[in-house]
Structure 1
Amino acid sequence: MNVREAMKKQADVAMMLSRHVLSFPPKDSNVIFSPASINTAITMHAAGPGGDLVADEVLSFLRASSIDELKTVFRKLSSVVYADSSACGDPKITSANGLWIDKSLPVNNRKYKDLFENFFKAVYAPVDFRSKAEEVRIEVNSWVEHHTNNLIMDLLPPESVTDETEKIYANALYFKGAWERPFEKSYTKDQDFHLVNGTTVSVPFMTSYADQYVRAYDGFKVLRLPYRQASNDNKREFSMYFYLPDKKDGLDDLLEKMASTPGFLDSHIPSYRDEVSLCRD
């Protein structure tokens, strides 16, 4: 199995998910979501109790050849990407997984407890949804808050967990890093920001006059901002990427191009710094 090719397929799936998720919210809203978390939860579902009933649908959706391929991608992410080396100077990153399953289901709990705790490094918790649904909802919310440093609170709203709930698969992903080249606070100035509805609002723009990883492509530009990390970490590199359409109303077209072009992300990564007169994010 070619792990790199399997990872590339999941990057394409992430772009497809982005197009789907961003097509529903109002145009004047902000959206944050984690394709990696969705991938992890779906992989656990396919490998977990009753997963054989949805395996074909999962494999088709994630464009994977087998559950083993998905588990290989998960192993690569958890052992390399999500490995926390913050004590050595890398960004702080944690990924926590869990399955809350109704204890009345005819499931081999010993088998799946071993799989989830030892392979997925996950919580495996048989619970009583029938009479304690609200208590389980509070427990899951508390787990999410703890593993995201209290940044995600009340993930499951009231009445979202009922006596008919059978399973809850969860992934909590936390990341905190410092820029390799921090922005100077004194350079931050209010400027006009153009919204997709055609109006503008005044927002504080961080500004830098340093050389940047930036490149212009056909109809859009890409800016890469690396995070500071340990000098001896040669297995991975964390960066934030900004994709900016040339047209003020070009976001939908750019998103469509990103989602419909295989390998789009790998093909649009600035690899060297360029001198720029002004760089904002």
Structure 2
Amino acid sequence: MTYRATLDRVNVPLGLRSVGHAILPPGYRVGPRRTTFVHVIWTVRGSGQVSLGGARHVVGRDMVLVCPPAASHCLATWGERMWEYRWCTLDGAWSTLLLSALSLPSEAFAAGPCPEAMFLELAETLRDPSPEGERQAGVAAYAFLSHLGGLASVRPEFAGRGRARVLLSRADAAGELDVNVKSLADAAGLSRSSVHRVFRQELGVTPKRYLDSLRLQTAMSLLRETDMPVAAVAAATGFANANYFAKFFRRKVGQTPSGFRAERHQP
């Protein structure tokens, strides 16, 4: 992480205070603490929960939360996986005014994959402690907030991006196949009925059917291409119970998992 040389003093209307990268393990918690700066969080993977005063926000993958100064600011991982995110803090007389001027939402919003190069560039501007360096860091901070304002302005968040696939991305479905309708709804800040409607409109199937298809495809690949025990395949594809997985597999494929695996040895 990189900090401005004078954390307790800002000499420009908008100051870039700090830039960093965090990976929090499951069950980890930071705070609560009082903050006097704007804190921008952009999730790379996993999910986190941010408590600001009495409000709680879940910040899933590819989502951004812009936190104003708060009397009580607390961060924690959400779920049973680590939370990786990049962040920066801003201060100065314009820092909170710009949140409203740029129409930045007070809740977490979908912004796409975290632009890690942009955060590295922000960090680089902090390495110059001179007055001119502080001014340039402020210019970079304004450009960053403007970029976020542009991303937020395209809401409804899913417009033109394939809303169902954005939902899957938010819940880390690519690598976490125990995702379900509830976790999709929680990650996107939507009701379950809204999630069902999005999948019906864009994919023509229910979320459960789509997720079951993903699990089945992954299970078939693991059974054919690896020697993992059936119970391990079940766990890897989101089934807590190997017996239920076997019944599910037989209903969908017409064979037991072991019978399906045995066919790979046939000429």
Task: Name the structure with the higher helix share.
Answer: 2
The higher radius of gyration belongs to 2
TM over 0.5: no
Relative to the length of structure 1, the TM-score reads: 0.25
